[in-house]
Structure 1
């Protein structure tokens, strides 16, 4: 448990209700097995675009836990008085100032177009299409590296080793995603997995022939 995380309630204007799907689609059929139950939680509206506050500095007010993702989130207060959630970068501290836009300095937590980022920089929260919002390298401890720029495209190497080509007008955030020790957590007991909405995984061999290719047999 991170002692720096906010202990109180989340920022209410940035919450939305979430309906539990339990792995079902709009026909009620199970499309993802082993889902259901778990604790209720609200969705935290995270700003993945960060493209309409260029040139307006923001201060990190607090770091918060988010039940909907592995990364922590940061509540930032912009100079114009608006508050938003962003993905908390590695090393983020309360009181830190973050900036958006082409003029932003190359500093962890700042968001700018890839054409303004030096080659070799570690980045996260990378857009695939300009203006769509970050889709790559958003989970805890992840990052990507800007390898090269050629014309209107840039090459970005992901943690998996895959190299993706993205438009230089796509935006990215400098640094890595925080909460990198997320993968080391001890779940402790079966019930803690159930709290997260994950149901038991039954082996195919233990089923009947009607239920699974491995079913049946003595």
Structure 2
């Protein structure tokens, strides 16, 4: 090899260091993972153990509306990403879902819809209030039972807004503008046409105190007021099972039946040294604009009991 060819070969060599990116310095993808355990992993792989990565559909979409109790899967305190979110969940007796119709419905004009109460069912595994199985013709559905509702009662449901106040009985469903002032109501709609969201738990209720034009003011047990449209539908009466807050668990095994695992064991005595604060009543809540649609996210549905409740 001549000296000239050697010089040409050395000229082609580059003495510059190759560009090194920050991503190439990582030996694994640990740095790119989310540290929040509640975030769904990017690659959702199926698991043959309990199919924790497979999103579950709502029973209403799978089965349609039915009065037959549906067995619910146990999530064991795990979130939709398969990791434990709540360490005090696990075991317990089987849970069965009964689909509750939170919209009483009824015609907007004419004679109200009449239904007969066939059965009063306690549903302690899913909710605190009792359920009433009602039927009209060949259709049956579950609704939230009121305090004095009995088997054989005939309840009415209507969405007609009348100028004169109607004489509604307990269990009937009418718009707030059609009810007389002072009526005790439950399962109150925040916006017309939506589900009854307010005062649905055991023993809860609200009271219609005044009407202002096209709005109605409902006072809650906490003395706070709620202002909604007069076309919002509510059920007359108080929700059943009023002694729910006075129940006695009795033993630790009763909590295990409900799927509640024990605490860590550390106990803090509450001495009441600092007393309590007397807070002023907050301003009235005004529902005058319909809710905005929620943005879509990448979060998986997962096995969560909250999606079955309403």
Unpaired stretches in structure 1, ≥5 consecutive residues: 1-11, 207-218
In the alignment, what sits opposite 1:115? 177
In the alignment, what sits opposite 1:201? 263
In the alignment, what sits opposite 2:127? 69
- The equivalent position to 1:99 in structure 2, one of 122, 146, 156, is 156
In the alignment, what sits opposite 1:26? 80
In the alignment, what sits opposite 1:7? none
| 1:70 Cα deviation from its structure 2 partner | 0.6
Structure ranking higher in strand proportion: 1
More deviation in 64-73 or 13-22? 13-22
On the 8 A contact 1:145/1:156 being kept in 2, the answer is yes
Structure 2 distance, partners of 1:201, 1:171, is 42
Structure 2 distance, partners of 1:133, 1:191, is 36
On the 8 A contact 2:157/2:172 being kept in 1, the answer is yes
On the 8 A contact 2:105/2:159 being kept in 1, the answer is no
> Normalising by structure 1, what TM-score?
0.80
Aligned residue pair count: 194
| 1:21 Cα deviation from its structure 2 partner | 3.0
On the 8 A contact 1:102/1:116 being kept in 2, the answer is no
What SS does structure 2 have at the residue aligned with 1:115?
Answer: helix
In the alignment, what sits opposite 1:179? 241
On the 8 A contact 1:14/1:84 being kept in 2, the answer is no
Encode CA deviations 1:66-120: one digit per residue, 9 max, x unaligned.
1211111111111x22111111101111111100004674111001111111121
Encode CA deviations 1:105-160: one digit per residue, 9 max, x unaligned.
41110011111111211101111121111111111111111122222222211122
Structure 2 distance, partners of 1:34, 1:128, is 33
The answer to whether 1:142 aligns with 2:204 is yes
- The equivalent position to 1:48 in structure 2, one of 97, 102, 108, is 102
Provide the aligned C-alpha RMSD in A. 2.2
Unpaired stretches in structure 2, ≥5 consecutive residues: 1-65, 161-165, 269-310
In the alignment, what sits opposite 1:89? 146
Structure 2 distance, partners of 1:19, 1:152, is 45
Q: After the TM superposition, which residues 148-167 of structure 1 pair with which residues of structure 2 at under 5 Å, given as runs? A: 148-167=210-229
Structure 2 distance, partners of 1:15, 1:105, is 35
On the 8 A contact 1:140/1:179 being kept in 2, the answer is yes
- The equivalent position to 2:93 in structure 1, one of 31, 36, 39, is 39
Larger Rg computed on CA atoms? 2
